[in-house]
């Protein structure tokens, strides 16, 4: 922590915490590099977030534990340096086999200047997952930075367990994570208003949902009391689809129409000339 301004980190962490207001959600268009961070900031973002899948793909690794922790942290540092906004990083399960390892990852994350972290439970037993959240909280406390810890479970996203028991399972998990020190909770895979409203009512922390085509709008999710909305790997999927379209066109037909509408060289270069 010697290379970062702890006072500045504390202020950014405080701001990130204040931006999580149920009914007035923080909207995160997740990025994977510095250029994306600056584009999102220019569009009006109040904070910047990475998406683990997007970062992994850009590093040549599969999502779900395939990336190297140091590479991910280096990329996170680049995102932090590119914007003045608070940055929160998606670090999957903490890139560690143990709770102590998660604490070490969070300490390393703070050295990048990021002030928020997503931690997945990876389907672990509740007590074990909560212990890992507690380790993250303890590491941040030891550094004197009130990092925003977002505890994530993929029960709905992966369809784990019997459908009739999923809501109770998720509520049990999320309450345990909040008790262990999580500031917010993330439940990708929930889309219907009834389930979202039930989670908001049952868990004493801002609820984060994953949004994309077909999802409820920001205004609709706000009315349900959601505190945070993430696009996850949505931007990366759209960007890489554009790459594929342009490449397939030039190699199949020798034409370039898919490049129409792209950002100009001065626009992109200008992101980094300030």
CATH code, 85: 3.20.20.60
pLDDT at 1 over 60: no
Please report whether residue 87 resides in a domain. Answer: yes
90, 30 Cβ separation under 8 angstroms: yes
Please report whether residue 251 resides in a domain. Answer: no
What average pLDDT score do residues 197-212 get? 98
Please report whether residue 1 resides in a domain. Answer: no
User: pTM for the complete prediction?
Assistant: 0.95
pLDDT band at 194 (very low <50, low <70, confident <90, very high): very high
Please report whether residue 261 resides in a domain. Answer: no
Number of helices and strands (H, E) in the chain?
Answer: 12, 8
pLDDT band at 240 (very low <50, low <70, confident <90, very high): very high
* E strands present in the chain: 26-28, 48-49, 87-90, 116-120, 148-152, 184-186, 207-210, 228-230
pLDDT at 2 over 50: no
What average pLDDT score do residues 33-56 get? 98
Please report whether residue 192 resides in a domain. Answer: yes
- Domain hosting 127: range is 6-235
Q: What whole-number distance in Å separates Cα of residue 149 and Cα of residue 129?
A: 13
What average pLDDT score do residues 124-145 get? 98
Three-state secondary-structure class, residue 208: strand
What average pLDDT score do residues 42-70 get? 96
User: What pLDDT score does 252 carry?
Assistant: 98
pLDDT at 5 over 90: no
% of the chain beyond a pLDDT of 90: 96
User: What pLDDT score does 274 carry?
Assistant: 67
Please report whether residue 31 resides in a domain. Answer: yes
**Total domains present in the chain:** 1
What average pLDDT score do residues 177-200 get? 98
Taking only the tens place, the pLDDT of each residue in 86-131 is: 999 999 999 999 999 999 999 999 999 999 999 999 999 999 999 9
Residue 50: partners with Cβ closer than 8 Å, 6 or more residues away: 30, 31, 32, 75, 76, 79, 87, 88, 89, 90
User: What pLDDT score does 3 carry?
Assistant: 62
Q: What whole-number distance in Å separates Cα of residue 266 and Cα of residue 269?
A: 5
Please report whether residue 226 resides in a domain. Answer: yes
DSSP 183: S
More confident residue, 65 or 216: 216
Please report whether residue 263 resides in a domain. Answer: no
């Amino acid at each position: 922590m010697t290379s970062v301004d702890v006072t500045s980190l504390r202020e950014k962490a405080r701001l990130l915490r204040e931006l999580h207001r149920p009914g007035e959600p923080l909207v995160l268009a997740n990025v994977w590099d510095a250029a994306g961070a600056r584009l999102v900031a220019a569009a009006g973002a109040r904070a910047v977030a990475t998406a683990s899948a997007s970062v992994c793909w850009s590093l040549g690794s599969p999502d779900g534990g395939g990336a190297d922790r140091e590479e991910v942290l280096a990329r996170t540092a680049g995102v932090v340096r590119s914007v003045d906004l608070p940055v929160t990083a998606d670090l999957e399960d903490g890139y560690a086999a143990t709770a102590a390892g998660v604490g070490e990852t969070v300490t390393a994350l703070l050295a990048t200047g990021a002030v928020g972290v997503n931690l997945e439970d990876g389907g672990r037993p509740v007590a074990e997952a909560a212990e890992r959240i507690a380790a993250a909280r303890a590491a941040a406390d030891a550094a004197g930075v009130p990092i925003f810890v977002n505890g994530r479970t993929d029960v709905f996203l992966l369809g784990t367990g019997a459908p009739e028991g999923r809501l109770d399972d998720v509520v049990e998990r999320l309450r345990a994570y909040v008790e262990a020190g999580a500031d917010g909770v993330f439940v990708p895979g929930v889309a219907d208003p009834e389930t979202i409203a039930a989670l908001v009512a049952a868990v004493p922390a801002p609820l984060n949902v994953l949004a994309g085509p077909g999802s409820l709008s920001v205004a609709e999710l706000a009315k349900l009391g959601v505190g945070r909305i993430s696009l996850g790997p949505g931007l990366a999927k759209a960007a890489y689809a554009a790459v594929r379209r342009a490449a397939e066109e030039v190699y199949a037909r020798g034409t370039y129409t898919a490049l129409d509408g792209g950002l100009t060289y001065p626009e992109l270069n200008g992101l980094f000339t300030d």
